[in-house]
Structure 1
Amino acid sequence: MAREKFQTLTEPMFYILLTLREECCGTDIMARVSALTRGRVDLGPGTLYNLLDSFQQAGMIRETSVSGRKRSYLITDKGRETLRAEYLRLLALTEDYKTCAGEEDLK
């Protein structure tokens, strides 16, 4: 059975949506994701713009302004719901780890 698109998010997807809680253009998104993750997640332009297009088609973000080639985006209610669902899924994973591995493995 095929998995529904955006049922789970990759790290780049998660951080793009998280960043778009405030209006940003592509360059700002890349910089903010890099800063937020201390360079751990590095978004290339190809990945970023493909995901922005997919998110926009899915109604998870909306374009807010266009100035020449510069486009800005903002998360929608659907995008917020998806981001929150992923956050809760990740919390459940960490709780399962704690239950199975115990607190001593966290040190």
Structure 2
Amino acid sequence: MSKREMREPTFMVLSVLAQGPQHGYALLAETKRLSEGRVALQPGTLYASLDRLREEGLVIVVREEVVESRLRRYYDLTDAGAEELHQEVKRLDANVRLAKASLQLRPAGGLA
């Protein structure tokens, strides 16, 4: 992955996988729950994202099983994926610190 900012859906998927292996449907549900509904991925979007993340070496398929005649793949974060997530957390944290400091410098009763 490049060093550009990570899109929120990717951030949420990697964050969910940081908790441990998940299959696609669980990733959809947990991403929506963790984001408090802000990120509601469609299955096609999720699987395209997972394919891209696999190509980038950030996630891997750790096992497959057949459930009700359908293939279920379980994905997990690689060490590289965990590092990408860690770097993005650091970037976001720095942005939050900057914004908080800027807000503290804002004069009381400033323009609305």
TM-score by length of 2: 0.82
Per the alignment, in what secondary structure is the counterpart of residue 65 of structure 1? strand
Residue identity over aligned pairs, in percent, reads 32
Structure 1 residue aligned with 2:81: 79
Structure 2 residue aligned with 1:88: 90
Per the alignment, in what secondary structure is the counterpart of residue 101 of structure 2? helix
* Structure 2: runs of 5 or more not aligned: 107-112
Structure 2 residue aligned with 1:65: 63
CA-CA distance at 1:6 after TM superposition: 5.7
Aligned pairs for 1:1-107 within 5 A? 5=2, 7-21=4-18, 22-68=20-66, 69-102=71-104
Q: Deviations over 1:46-84 (max 9, x none)?
A: 211111001101110110111242111000100000000
CA distance in 2, matches of 1:79, 1:9: 12
Q: Deviations over 1:64-106 (max 9, x none)?
A: 11124211100010000000000000001111111222277xx
Range with bigger deviation, 81-90 or 37-46: 37-46
CA distance in 2, matches of 1:36, 1:74: 17
Q: Which has the larger radius of gyration?
A: 2
What amino acid does structure 1 have at the position aligned with 2:2?
K
Change (3 A) 1:57 1:6: farther
CA distance in 1, matches of 2:29, 2:90: 26
What amino acid does structure 2 have at the position aligned with 1:72?
Y
